[in-house]
Structure 1
Amino acid sequence: MYRVAFLEAEHWHVLGHMAAIKTFDNVEVVAMSGNGQFTKNLSSEMGIPLYGNYMELLDNEKDLDFVYIFGIYKEAPSIMMECIKRGIPFMADKPCCERAEQLPPVIGALKESGVKHCIALQRRYALPVEMYKDYIREKASEGGVHIVLRYITGTPQRYEDMGFPWANKKEIAGGGALLNLGVHYIDLVSYLTGDEVVEAKGFINENVWKLGLDDYANIILRTKSGHTATVEVGYTKSGYPQEDFIISGKNFYLTATAAEDIRLYGLKEGGDKKGELLEKHDFPDIQWFDKCLNSMIETLEGRGEPAATLEDVYHALRFVTQVYEDNHFYD
């Protein structure tokens, strides 16, 4: 049985990870830390100890097999370093930091220590990504591809309603939609093409909700081999969130919308020059935290490499930080 704890668990993804754990019969949550009403209620409901901060938890809870790391983004590197110091494996929720320059010392410590970890970049498990990653990489190796990734979710009020008002405060959260959501999709550009992102240009908008942090961001990316991508994220949709994947190349066009379907268009053998629908699949809008947990367990047991690492997050976060700097967000 894996004994795990949740560190600084005042975060909206905690319930998703908890739900995933319930589908595993070999993982048990034994404690959590946090100082808000959410963790107070959840720990009471689960009948597990609640500590005021992660240091208290780590000092008192022994024989932990691994921990989940949440917390305010700028504090995450310190939490990871403490776990590395104690030799405790961890699964961390993105973005793992406030600015990209916080991560190289942690990455170095991970390599030196050999502590195992996994990052919950769960959009890597989205159905169109899992189904067509190899196909897209093959097409990318044959010529240029262009990727459009869009996730427009609910308004910032949802964080208030869920009990996490810190997410709407620039001095605490360190960023808005680009930091919170953009890291997933910048990462997917490299993941889908198998190519390193080397350049980014983008704009952010802070004028919709006027909270002092970005409620919308649009970024154009270029990879080392010349593939291009557009990433669009925002807190500007009042209704159901919308997530779109559009990938195109010389002889194919893939489009996918969460909660709708996935469609692949291309030239059939012997067909004319007009693209035809080759495949169509349902695209259920679900979270993939169970696959993140499975990757962590496989990593611990030596049965595989982590599906996403802190280096992967760093490669994406470099461009988040750059776009913020270009738009004078930190001024």
Structure 2
Amino acid sequence: MLVGAAHWHAPLYMDALRTRFDLVEVAEERGSAGADSGIDVAFVMTAHERMAAQAAHFIERGIPVVLEKPGALNLADLRSLRDLAHRHGVPVAVPLVHRAAPFMSVLRSIARPTYLTVTYLVGPPQRYVDAECAWMLDPDSGGGVLVNLGAHFADVATELFGAPIASVRAVGHHALHHLDIEDHAVMILTTEDGRSATVELGYVFPSAAAKRHVSMTLAGEDGFVSIGAGGDVSLTRADGTIERARIDVDSDLLFRDFVAEVAESFDAGFAALPQIDDLVAAMEVVDLAYRDMHGDRDRGRAWAS
């Protein structure tokens, strides 16, 4: 079952869902696709303001959930949803798909990673209008590039460092598209022992059809690695030797692979996949970033408002 099929990520899942599951029933709202009996797993991908309630509907009935990020309209609602899942013992998998990206294998080859930089720039905000998800351009219902992409790279930094993020600094900008949401943002994430990630995100690539610009660097105890926009990898070891390779930096296929992992780990409670606790940890970082951008005020309404 797929709830909220108008979500702009839905097309990235559909072919794999039809291949991996005997029946995929699509419903825009919970309950509108018929009774919940017989549903093996619910994929919840809808507007942020409806995500938590729809996921809770299935959790309360003991139905495992796959929940798109950010999972809720604000951090308080997301934490409540996590607590509900724990009380009911229902697994909730989250497509933090960049954990399985080819670039992660490259970055993990550096011992004790210390300084990470990520630039991840995607197409213009018009793509959400074209996908009939114009709510994404409203800070009270969707949010800017930080709420859309920030969780992925907060999670990447946490995974690489093997430690939680202790402090967050962030700035956001509106100058390119002149919208209420930020179209460009930079976060600096730091662990307690001083390791840091600088993450640049933006709706600044000129064409959604051309997808995105991705580049990364990582310095650590035994070397330095850079990944260019075309996927060219250069890894310089401490002894001066250089290793070169090329990888695929297109993230779209990661969603297909994620669906395969859902199918294969279903009986084990999605044990091989990121869980709702991981999403909460990532969105706590995003929430701190918005607090730094807008002032440390109550963020009970929405992530970006």
Distance in 1 separating the partners of 2:251 and 2:170:
29
- Who is 2:54 aligned against? 79
Which consecutive residues of structure 2, in runs of 5 or more, have no partner in the other structure?
296-303
Describe the SS at the equivalent of 1:327.
helix
8 Å Cα contact 1:245/1:257 also seen in 2: yes
- Quick check: which one's helix share is greater? 1
The answer to which structure, 1 or 2, has the higher relative contact order (CA under 8 A, 6+ apart) is: 2
Cα distance, 1:22 vs structure 2: 4.4
- Who is 2:245 aligned against? 280
Cα distance, 1:124 vs structure 2: 1.2
Which consecutive residues of structure 1, in runs of 5 or more, have no partner in the other structure?
35-52, 269-274
Describe the SS at the equivalent of 1:65.
coil
- Who is 2:259 aligned against? 293
Distance in 2 separating the partners of 1:327 and 1:245:
23
Aligned residues: 293
Does 1:180 pair with 2:148?
Answer: yes
Cα distance, 1:62 vs structure 2: 2.6
The aligned runs of 1:144-293 (5 Å cut-off) are 145-173=114-142, 175-239=143-207, 240=210, 241-268=212-239, 275-287=240-252, 288-293=254-259
Cα distance, 1:128 vs structure 2: 1.5
What's the TM-score, normalizing by structure 2?
0.88
8 Å Cα contact 1:195/1:225 also seen in 2: no
8 Å Cα contact 2:52/2:71 also seen in 1: yes
Q: Which amino acid aligns with 1:322?
A: L
The aligned runs of 1:47-58 (5 Å cut-off) are 53-57=29-33
The aligned runs of 1:35-184 (5 Å cut-off) are 53-57=29-33, 59-133=34-108, 135-136=109-110, 139-140=111-112, 145-173=114-142, 175-184=143-152
Does 1:9 pair with 2:5?
Answer: yes
Distance in 1 separating the partners of 2:279 and 2:35:
30
What's the TM-score, normalizing by structure 1?
0.82
8 Å Cα contact 2:73/2:141 also seen in 1: no
Deviations 1:211-251 (A, max 9, x none): 21111110101113321110110101214310112111233
Cα distance, 1:147 vs structure 2: 0.4
Describe the SS at the equivalent of 1:187.
helix
Q: Which amino acid aligns with 1:67?
A: A
Q: Which amino acid aligns with 2:288?
A: Q
Distance in 2 separating the partners of 1:154 and 1:76:
24
4+ runs deviating over 3 angstroms: none
CA separation of 1:120/1:169 partners in 2, compared to 1, >3 Å: closer, same or farther?
A: same
Describe the SS at the equivalent of 2:7.
coil
8 Å Cα contact 1:256/1:283 also seen in 2: no
CA separation of 1:6/1:204 partners in 2, compared to 1, >3 Å: closer, same or farther?
A: same
Describe the SS at the equivalent of 1:311.
helix
- Who is 1:19 aligned against? 15
Q: Which amino acid aligns with 1:162?
A: A
8 Å Cα contact 1:259/1:285 also seen in 2: no
Q: Which amino acid aligns with 1:197?
A: I
